Amino acid sequence: MSSDNIPWNPKMRQKRTPSDVVVDGIIWLILIAVVLVVMYPLWFVVIASFSDPTAVSTGNVTLWPVGFSLDSYRMILADGRIWRGYLNTIMYSVIGTAVNLLVTIPAAYACSRREFKPRRLIMLFFTFTMFFGGGLIPSYLLIKQLNLLDSMWVFILPGAFGAYNFIIARSFFESSIPEDLRDAARVDGVSYYGFFLRIVLPLSGAILAVIGLYCFVSHWNDYFTGLIYIRSQDKQPLQVVLQNILLANQTDQGSVGMSAAQSQNLGDQIKFGIIIISTLPLLILYPCIQKYFNKGVMIGAVKG
């Protein structure tokens, strides 16, 4: 029997040489070092937010909390604006992400179809917006003329369409949706709308998760919009509320119910607590869709 006729056995592996072991060991050490460099700052923020402020300021906090304390969280959460800011940000993020997907996904699918003749011209217009913008003052005047000042829609409508997300989704549809599916659907009498709704969308869970995460994170971290366009305190997003609390604490204004001495002692710890409070929902959300995120990024990057 020739070697070509021998069935392949996945359990059969090439014998490893000492040099292979050394190279693998070096790669593992490098990967571990990179993970530690990336994770330690995050871990330090967590333990510092639960540690005694004096221990943090003197450098005694390294790997574990020292002098466990929840004073910073009590001071932050005692301000009622936190809960209103959380509610506003969740509303802006959820509605904004839904609008982003509703606008971006159909447009990306339409421009992925070869029979759609103007798609290259439309792509040129969309790509142009990635490199050129009007600037702050023209944008402010435009928002004012559209009557979006001090409105929740200023967080949603101006950024409803993202050219970057559009390009990722278009690449996904071009490389991952076989043309044979459209031919089969056409034979069965399925229209473009039916094909998109009943076949394309169920097969696009990965890219929907990727773009949804991108949009949600963008809305959640949107600080500039609330700072420039929102005047009512009850409409401010969480990021602006936390920034106001932090500034008030630094200037000893007592906006979170602290005396000047307490503000001085807990200043750094409050900063760490604010970081945890503002990023906690994203830290919970990301592991839930991580598998879709990895798959969608890889598939969308196959073809540009």
pLDDT tens-place string over residues 225-243: 988 999 888 888 988 888 8
C-alpha span between 93 and 221 (Å, rounded): 9
Residue 190 pLDDT more than 60? yes
Residue 251 is predicted with a pLDDT of 57
Q: What is the pTM of this model?
A: 0.75
**197 close to 105: Cβ distance less than 8 angstroms:** no
DSSP string, 230-276: ---GGG--HHHHHHHHHHHHHTT--TTS--HHHHHHHHHHHHHHHHH
Residue 302 is predicted with a pLDDT of 47
C-alpha span between 216 and 227 (Å, rounded): 19
Residue 26 is predicted with a pLDDT of 93
Structure tokens at 83: 């809960």
pLDDT tens-place string over residues 128-184: 888 887 788 888 998 999 999 989 999 999 888 888 889 888 988 888 888 888 888
C-alpha span between 122 and 20 (Å, rounded): 51
**Cα 197 to the center of its chain, rounded Å:** 26
pLDDT band at residue 300, thresholds of 50, 70 and 90? very low
CATH topology of domain 75-300: MetI-like fold (1.10.3720)
Portion of the chain with pLDDT greater than 70, in percent: 83
C-alpha span between 19 and 22 (Å, rounded): 5
Residue 256 pLDDT more than 80? no
Residue 94 pLDDT more than 90? yes
Residue 101 is predicted with a pLDDT of 93
Burial (CB count within 10 angstroms: exposed 0-12, middle 13-18, buried 19+), residue 271: middle
Owner of token pair 């390009």: 167
pLDDT band at residue 34, thresholds of 50, 70 and 90? very high
Tell me the domain boundaries of the chain: 16-69, 75-300
pLDDT tens-place string over residues 46-89: 888 888 777 777 778 888 888 887 777 887 777 778 888 889 99
Residue 257 pLDDT more than 90? no
